[in-house]
Structure 1
Amino acid sequence: MRDPQRTAVRQVAIFKKNQHSPNEVLEAMKQRIDSPEGRRRYSQRIGTVEPVFGNIRHNKRLNRFTLRGSTKVGTQWRLYCLVRNIEKLAGREMKK
């Protein structure tokens, strides 16, 4: 804490760059998604990206990471993605 008797300035500098309220950011994103281009891109996402996350989350039961730290969590995430990709490749080979 700052002691007015000893220091005339703040001891901790706080850098605030482009602070937007969460509502401003949310509204901007809603406008982007509601545009014709946004609707087209979002409809593509629903068909390509969301099933992958749904499979990893529900079928593989990765709704929480069991490790701590960004390096360990990143490694765990890559392992789950690797397993999914191997299963996908194995499924293609079984169809041949």
Structure 2
Amino acid sequence: MYDKRPQIKKAALFKPEDFRFDPDTKTCLCPAGKRLYSNGSNCVFSGYRAIKFQGAQQDCVPCTLCNQCLRRPEKTRTRQVAFFLGKAPGRESHTDRIKAKIDSDLGKQMITRRFATVEPLFGNLRGNKGLDRFTLRGRSKVDGQWKLYCLTHNIEKLAHHGYGC
């Protein structure tokens, strides 16, 4: 049976917001008021710059708040904390690059042409002809089926513009 009695919750741990970080002097104070040492001033995590700090053993081991600060005080003796400073320079993601390309004047022209040429093809094949899925499996078979779909579309275009008479 499920135990419905109220569970005793473990004390919430300190979060990075509980530490006082000064970006101008690049210093950090823990909730107990002790100064943490910088152990990485220009780190990159997932494309973001960060500054890492770590507490000194002489401050963290005797501290009365270590149960609220450390997840496993029996294994880890000092607290580490990182503060993010924004995106790292020179590490532009693929998404950021494509956004910049699409937002440029040339990109807007390319998208306009794509909507005028490619999108009607998909709309015609899916909406008018009901060709909305591939029935074959494997790259070469699907490629052949796609070419047949396109051939069907192009033959219809030619017929409507008077090339089949």
1:63 and 2:63 correspond: no
Q: Say which structure is richer in strand.
A: 2
Query: How many residues of Structure 1 are paired with residues of Structure 2 in the alignment?
Result: 74
Which of 87, 95, 105 lines up with 1:26 in the alignment? 95
Match of 2:118 among 45, 49, 56: 49
- Whole-angstrom CA distance in 2 between matches of 1:72 and 1:47: 28
Q: Give the aligned residue type for 1:52.
A: L
Q: Which runs of 4+ in 1 moved over 3 A?
A: none
Find the partner of 2:107 among 31, 35, 38.
Answer: 38
Secondary structure at 2:133's aligned position in 1?
Answer: coil
Residue identity in the other structure for 1:51 = P
Q: TM-score, normalised by structure 1?
A: 0.66
C-alpha deviation, 1:58, in angstroms: 2.0
Structure with the greater relative contact order (CA < 8 A, sep ≥ 6): 1 or 2? 2
1:57: Cα distance to partner?
2.1
Determine what percentage of the aligned residue pairs are the same residue. Answer: 50
How far apart are the structure 1 equivalents of 2:100 and 2:133? 31
What secondary structure, in the 3-state scheme, does the structure 1 residue paired with 2:93 have? helix
The root-mean-square deviation of aligned C-alpha atoms, in Å, is 2.2
Give the TM-score normalised by the residue count of structure 2.
0.40
